[in-house]
Amino acid sequence: MLRHALLVSLVIAPLACGGSSKPKSDEPTASQAGPVHGPDAHHPHTHGPHAHGDKPLGHRFENAEEWAKRFDAPSRDTWQKPADVVALMEITPGMAVADVGAGTGYFLPYLSKAVGETGTVLGLDIEADMVRYMVTRADTLNLGNVKARTVAVADPELSLGSVDRVLIVDTWHHIPDRVGYAKKLAQGLRPGGAVFIVDFTMETERGPHKDHRLSAESILAELAEAGLATDLLDEELPDQFIVRGRLP
């Protein structure tokens, strides 16, 4: 769930994610999620099918209104801490930010406020119905600086040097060629730009089955292989870590 791949967190989510055909109201733990894990098993920001190569597999997340009951549940705010995540991205007015794997657009209001009237936010997802939902959401909330579009599973489709920040929440482990994808993200960054990947720790009971998770160290290595300078951010999220990759 390019939520929940992108995205643009290209998303991507997600970009790619398996799941059940009908969402439940509550967030399952990792033990409840089982080997087939849906967007809430990861986190409501992941969406889309599992991907292998460039071919998506698994269930599609085409009914955005139904999935929004999980993706945008008020209880998510207590552990996702979206305002804190966006603050760590050090966004300034006028920037261009891509939310890869954006799903229903949970992060869009926060990103929209951060970039201001002169900035731009791109909500990127592989699911057309998620993009439709984001467009409606932006219109309803008067987020005039938000644009949404569909992207391919294996490509965030960012123009060369077009964005300052990229957010990918609980989507990274669904991208088929992560190093190649990171290189495409790097090409899309402006000087001083950075990619922020938010995902679940190996220890938390929230999120996907632990066999499907990636450690922070492995993501750092993938971004570094793609030519980005990497670091693990100091954050206060109860269940997740944040990895940053910057242009050298």
CA-to-CA dists, residue 23 to 28, 139, 185, 195, angstroms: 11, 25, 31, 30
Report whether pLDDT(89) > 70. yes
Cβ contacts of 63 within 8 Å, gap of 6 or more: 129
Whether pLDDT at 238 is above 80: yes
What is the per-residue pLDDT across 149-192, written as a single tens digit (0 to 9) for each?
999 999 999 999 999 999 999 889 889 899 999 999 999 999 99
Lowest-pLDDT choice from 46-50, 103-107, 219-223, 240-244: 46-50
HSE-CB for 63 with a 13 A CA cutoff: 10
Q: Domain tally for the chain?
A: 1
Confidence of residue 2 (pLDDT cuts 50, 70, 90): very low
Least confident of 53-67, 107-121, 128-142, 181-195: 53-67
Q: Answer whether residue 27 shows pLDDT above 80.
A: no
Closest C-alpha to 171, from 163, 161, 181: 181
**pLDDT score at 73:** 84
CA distance 47 to 62: 9
Tell me how long the chain is: 248
Pairwise CA distance, residues 24 & 219, whole Å: 30
Residue 5 in this model has a pLDDT that exceeds 90 = no
- pLDDT value of residue 84: 98
Helix and strand totals (H; E) in the chain: 9, 9
What is the structure's pLDDT at 170? 87
Rounded CA separation 175/144 (Å): 30
Angle at 28 between CA 236 and CA 105, to 5 degrees: 65
Q: Does residue 38 register a pLDDT over 90?
A: no
How many whole angstroms separate alpha carbon 146 and alpha carbon 151?
16
Residue scoring higher pLDDT (53 or 187):
187
Task: Give me the domain span that covers residue 202.
Answer: 1-248
CATH of the domain at 34: 3.40.50.150
Range 121-146 average pLDDT: 96
Does the pLDDT at position 48 exceed 60? Answer: no
* Chain mean pLDDT for the chain: 80
Mean pLDDT, residues 99-113:
96
Q: Give percent of the chain above pLDDT 90.
A: 65
Q: How many CB atoms within 10 Å of residue 82?
A: 18
CA atoms of 194 and 9, how far apart (whole Å) = 12
Q: Does 46 have pLDDT greater than 50?
A: no
> Where does the pLDDT of residue 56 fall: very low under 50, low under 70, confident under 90, or very high at 90 and above?
very low
Both tokens assigned to 2: 């390019």
pTM: 0.79
